[in-house]
Amino acid sequence: MRSTTVLPGVPARPSRPGDVPLHRLEVAGPGAPPFAAGSFEEVGPLSRWDRPHRHTFYEIVHVRAGSGTHVVDLARWPVRPPQLTVILPGQVHHWEGGRGPEGSLVLFTDDFLVDHPGDRAVLRELGSRRLALDAEHDRSIRCLIDELVAEHRQRAPGHGSVLRALLHVLVVRAARLPGHDAHGPGPGTQGRTAAVAEAFARLIGRPEAAGWTVQECAGRLGVTPGYLTQAVRAATGRPPGRLLIEARVYLAQQLLAHTQLSVRQVAARTGFSDPAYFGRFFRRETGHSPGAFRKHHSRHHPSLEGPSASA
């Protein structure tokens, strides 16, 4: 997940001809959390881009007004506010037609979920749904996002911990919302290719998939490696090998941050027989050694409440 967040002004890596444009999340400065929140206007014109593109980050979109169509991977979803949408890293999407969406966005990378690793699976589930909101749920979601936006703007001491806590509440509350968008995706957007890509996404989220090759994944899904590559590229704009690497890195991050396993044991759990090679792999993908990552992310966060008074 190297370069998922960059300082403002850092040029994007050149893409190959035909690649879907890849947007990265800029951070305010060194040490700033990989997170942003605000209205469509505050996030910028690319938040309403009408050209297919993909992100290195998650995007939670709360649409409160507007019309048109939101195209995500192979599905076309009518914009009928108020509604909540989760766009996953790698998903190809754009907005088209109608009056551009109005509302708020919450942007964050995989790295930001280290304190709540279970949220990743919840977000993947939410990524397949479009949640229509009634008035009560719309107010509740809006209040949570407004809190995230205010905390992000103020950047008071400890704001990273507060942002992670509020985001976790938002994800849990979103998972409780009832039902799917009643209108669903437009016709002609689903098929075997999309189903294979979705099955691949679920497959690589399993811990035992660490170290699997594209060929092994294809065999488990009952397709050829060539067809799997075609399906995943059509759905995400990226090759399955790259997504396997990112899933492997994420598993290593979870183990380093949330277990007492040694680096050698983490290497073995993620499919590496050579801990030194694992260390080089991890540094190449994250910019940090396994030890440095653990030191930063395993520290106990200070309590959000003050110390209790003695009885």
Among 1-5, 208-212, 261-265, 294-298, the range scoring the smallest mean pLDDT is 1-5
* Mean pLDDT over the full length of the chain: 82
263 shares a domain with 153: no
Quote the distance between the C-alpha of residue 5 and its chain's center.
Answer: 12
Cα Rg of the chain (Å, integer): 20
CB 177 within 8 A of CB 122: no
Instruction: Determine, yes or no, domain membership for 181.
Output: no
Instruction: Determine, yes or no, domain membership for 302.
Output: no
pLDDT at 170 over 80: yes
Q: Look up residue 36 and give its two tokens.
A: 């942003």
> How does DSSP classify residue 53?
B
252 shares a domain with 132: no
Taking the C-alpha atoms of residue 90 and residue 235, their distance in angstroms, rounded to an integer, is 8
pLDDT of residue 2: 35
Domain end marker among 176, 202, 234: 176
Query: Which of 84, 121, 137 has the alpha carbon at shortest distance from 106?
Result: 84
255 shares a domain with 156: no
Among 36-40, 62-66, 189-193, 270-274, the range scoring the smallest mean pLDDT is 189-193
pLDDT band at 183 (very low <50, low <70, confident <90, very high): very low
Query: What domain range is 280 assigned to?
Result: 192-297
68 shares a domain with 201: no
pLDDT at 189 over 50: no
Helix (H, G, I), strand (E, B) or coil at 213: coil
When divided into structural domains, the chain yields a total of 2
pLDDT of residue 179: 57
CATH number of 210's domain:
1.10.10.60
Q: What DSSP assignment string belongs to 138-163?
A: HHHHHHHHHHHHHHHHH--TTHHHHH
Q: Which residue has the higher pLDDT, 253 or 3?
A: 253
pTM of the model: 0.60
Taking only the tens place, the pLDDT of each residue in 6-30 is 555 555 555 554 567 888 888 777 7
pLDDT of residue 11: 54
129 shares a domain with 271: no
CB 185 within 8 A of CB 133: no
Among 9-23, 135-149, 167-181, 205-219, the range scoring the smallest mean pLDDT is 9-23
152 shares a domain with 221: no
Peptide bond into 82 cis (omega under 30): yes
Taking the C-alpha atoms of residue 309 and residue 156, their distance in angstroms, rounded to an integer, is 24
pLDDT of residue 276: 96
Across residues 191-219, what is the average pLDDT?
85
Q: Look up residue 55 and give its two tokens.
A: 């992100």
Across residues 68-97, what is the average pLDDT?
86
End-to-end CA distance of the chain: 48
211 shares a domain with 98: no
Quote the distance between the C-alpha of residue 135 and its chain's center.
Answer: 27
Taking only the tens place, the pLDDT of each residue in 114-153 is 888 889 888 988 886 778 999 999 999 999 999 999 999 9
Instruction: Determine, yes or no, domain membership for 67.
Output: yes
- Per-residue CA distances from 112 to 36, 90, 128, 285 (Å): 11, 17, 21, 16
Instruction: Determine, yes or no, domain membership for 309.
Output: no
In the chain, the percentage of residues whose pLDDT exceeds 70 is: 84
Helix (H, G, I), strand (E, B) or coil at 294: helix
pLDDT at 307 over 50: no
Across residues 285-293, what is the average pLDDT?
90
